[in-house]
Amino acid sequence: MRLLENLKWRYATKKFNPSKKISDIDLERLKEAIQLSVSSYGLQLYKVLVIENQELRAQLKKASWDQSQITDASHLFVFCNYTDRSEKHIDDYIQTTAKTQGTSLDKLSAYSEFIKGSLSQKTYSEWISWSEKQTYLALSNLLMACAELKIDACPMEGFESDKYNEILGLKEKGLNAAVIAPVGFRSEEDHTQFRKKVRKPKELLFQSL
């Protein structure tokens, strides 16, 4: 499988080459891979910010424990989950489904009510936890697409979400920065790339029942 070879190649890049940029074509490919990500009920209750502006990223670096990946990578992907529980998200999804699949809203009404009923049973804290997890599904697609294109990436939780929200004006938009990923190309000085990948052996990781 080519996928396995690509996954063996990738690693969490610690030092990027700031002089190398992702092409516009590959950037669109990464976006499409994220767009095709799985999500609960197909709702995709998140927004992904793709940040190239260096001044903005310099501010975000301070809210990321001053880690160099934030400013040295070609682009910074910020995965944001929605924090509001508005049923409009579901209504919009049903409208899009009807238009895309050429079916009537009446035929989708039962599914719409099912989703609304299921999500209404969550407490607000459960909703937030659930919506944050959705962003990680999209992040996974980005990482695999990067590996396929031989683009480096570093998934990161090491940042202050509240400060990201403030700098990017996310709270006013009903969004929260959940996880981030600088993407670009590894520096020759990043010695992490030469370390052997460490993973649990299969006999400990899997159990057949």
pLDDT tens profile 160-192: 999 999 999 999 999 999 999 999 999 999 999
Residue 51 lies in a domain: yes
Q: How many separate domains does the chain show?
A: 1
The average pLDDT across 130-139 equals 98
**C-alpha distances out from residue 59 to 21, 50, 112, 160, Å:** 20, 15, 41, 12
The average pLDDT across 16-29 equals 98
The mean of the pLDDT values for the chain is 97
In this prediction, residue 39 carries a pLDDT of 97
Range(s) of the domain holding residue 148: 2-186
In this prediction, residue 158 carries a pLDDT of 97
The number of CA neighbours under 13 Å toward the Cβ of 9 is 18
The average pLDDT across 93-118 equals 97
Residue 59 lies in a domain: yes
Does residue 144 surpass a pLDDT of 90?
Answer: yes
In this prediction, residue 33 carries a pLDDT of 98
In this prediction, residue 115 carries a pLDDT of 97
In this prediction, residue 1 carries a pLDDT of 80
In this prediction, residue 122 carries a pLDDT of 96
Residue 25 lies in a domain: yes
Residue 197 lies in a domain: no
Residue indicated by tokens 């502006």: 53
**C-alpha distances out from residue 190 to 154, 157, 187, Å:** 13, 20, 5
Residue 90 lies in a domain: yes
Q: pTM for this one? A: 0.97
Residue 153 lies in a domain: yes
3-state secondary structure 144-191: HHHHHHCCEECCECCCCHHHHHHHHCCHHHCEEEEEEEEEECECCCCH
Identify the CATH number of the domain in which residue 164 sits.
3.40.109.10
Residue 200 lies in a domain: no
Question: pLDDT of 34-85, one tens digit each?
Answer: 999 999 999 999 999 999 999 999 999 999 999 999 999 999 999 999 999 9
Residue 87 lies in a domain: yes
The average pLDDT across 4-21 equals 97
